[in-house]
Structure 1
Amino acid sequence: MTMSPFEVERREFGRSAMGYKKTEVDGFLDEVRGSLMGLWQERTDLREENERLNERVARYTALEEQLKNTLILAQDSAEKAQEQARRESELLMREAGQKAREIVHNAHEQRQRLEGALRELHSAEQETRQRFRALAQTVISHLDDTDASSADSATTLRAVVQGSPRQTERREASRAQAPAPVRREAPRARVIETPPSFDPSSFASRSSDAPVPTGELSPAGSAPDK
């Protein structure tokens, strides 16, 4: 049975002839009461401390649960962000690969178009060269049939047709440095039949409209140095 200090203090005992001394019994009761009072106070303090500790444990438990939830949420968010980043990176890689393939395909098509245009230009250049040589040969043939004053022009055109522009320039320079020839009285005019294949008026119009190929004949009548 548990007794409080107050119960020990109020406890009364019966009297007998051979009983204990009252003073000694009262002193002992006082000591017991004091001990019980100390134990009672200690128990009260322990209970209060236990309650405080229980409250702290409850708070820590709640905090632990909150931290667990936060960690779980953070981990879930990190996994979702990682998955989203992975999907976006894969999408970017696919788009970049598709774009690169389109660029390569377009570059290949453009190269084919440029090569085709280059072949057409080369064919046009060859055709123009052939037409120009044929036209120049016709002019040379006509100039060979005219009087000797046109011999230099025929020689220049022949040199252009034969592909010797440097010789033409040297010939022009030496002719410029040579003394002027003595002009003789022109012979009687003689009628020269124009070949059917040559029309001076059409030649003039064609020569003014025909493009001069690069590297063949400069505007001054001589090819530039290469």
Structure 2
Amino acid sequence: MPLTPLDIHNKEFGKRLRGYDEDEVNEFLDQIIKDYELLIRENKELQSQLGTVQEKLGHFANIEETLSKTIIVAQEAADELKNNAKKEAQLIVKEAEKNADRIINDSLVKSRKIAMEAEELKKQAAIYRARFRALIESQMELLSQDGWDSLDSSESRLREGSGSL
């Protein structure tokens, strides 16, 4: 057990012949008591400061641990957001590809339908031209027959006869 200033103060030495100067010893002991009390106070202050520093260190260690966990959680959340964004982008691309395929297929169907309609119209136009040509040719044939000349002469006669009326 360590000495206390009171232990030093209460310490008494036996007297002998030709011993030390009692006043000098007492002065020296008084000086030791003062120095020892000062060291004890300083030690208590340092222990108090050490407790405060350890408390602050614990607080900062908790803050560091919390920040570390927060950073990890934030990184995980960022990674999850990144992965979700990639998945969503892939879904959007797939949907766009499906829509593009559908539009292309619809366009091909419409194109084929229009091509078939155009082909049908060409056939109908060819048939119409052939029939019209046949009609014109038959009319030309009728016009080129000899019977028309006699009609022309009877017509002229009729005009002459009606002029005398």
Task: Determine if the TM-score, normalized by the shorter chain, exceeds 0.5.
Answer: yes
1:149 to 1:23, Cα distance in 2 relative to 1, 3 A? farther
Opposite residue 48 of structure 1, the aligned amino acid is: S
75-84 vs 4-13, which moves further: 4-13
Separation in structure 1 between the aligned mates of residue 44 and residue 9 of structure 2, nearest angstrom: 19
Cross-structure match for 1:165: none
Determine the structure 2 residue equivalent to 1:96. Answer: 96
- Give the match for residue 156 of structure 2: 186
1:207: which partner in 2? none
Structure 1 residue 147 displacement after superposition: 4.8
Unpaired runs of 5+ residues, structure 1, are 151-184, 190-226
* Structure 1 residue 41, shift from structure 2 partner: 1.5
Q: Give the Cα–Cα distance (whole angstroms) in 1 for the partners of residues 93 and 150 of structure 2.
A: 79
Higher helix share: 2
How far does residue 71 in structure 1 lie from its aligned partner after superposition? 1.4
Which SS does the other structure have where 2:144 is aligned? helix
Q: Does 1:127 align with 2:97?
A: no
Please give the alpha-carbon distance, in whole angstroms, between the structure 1 residues aligned to 2:43 and 2:15. Answer: 34
CA root-mean-square deviation: 2.3
Q: Which residue in the other structure is 1:24 paired with?
A: 24
Paired position in structure 1 for 2:163: none
Counterparts of 1:13-162 in structure 2, within 5 Å, are 13-145=13-145, 146-147=148-149
Provide the rounded CA distance (Å) in 2 between the counterparts of 1:32 and 1:148: 171
**Cα deviation digits, residues 107-146 of structure 1 (max 9, x gap):** 1111110110000000011111111111122222333343
Return the TM-score normalized by structure 1.
0.62
Q: How big is the shift at 1:188?
A: 5.2
**Structure 2, unpaired ranges of 5+:** 160-165
> Percent identity of the aligned residues?
27
Paired amino acid for 1:123: K
Cα displacement (A) at 1:15: 2.8
Higher relative contact order (CA 8 A, sep 6+): 2
Read off the aligned partner of 1:83 and give its amino acid letter: N
In the alignment, the residues of structure 1 paired with residue 60 and residue 47 of structure 2 have an alpha-carbon distance, to the nearest angstrom, of: 20
**Alpha-carbon distance, 1:88 to partner:** 0.9
Cα distance in 2, alignment partners of residues 99 and 5 from structure 1: 95
Instruction: Please list the CA deviations of residues 44-94 of structure 1 after superposition, one character each: whole Å capped at 9, or x if unmatched.
Output: 111011101110110011111101211121121112112211211111111
Shift of 1:148: 9.5
What SS class does the counterpart of residue 51 from structure 1 fall into? helix
**Structure 2 letter corresponding to 1:47:** Q
Code of the residue aligned with 2:104 in structure 1: it is: V
Q: Secondary structure at the match of 1:187?
A: helix
Which region of structure 1 is more displaced relative to structure 2, 79-88 or 135-144? Answer: 135-144
Q: How many residues align?
A: 155
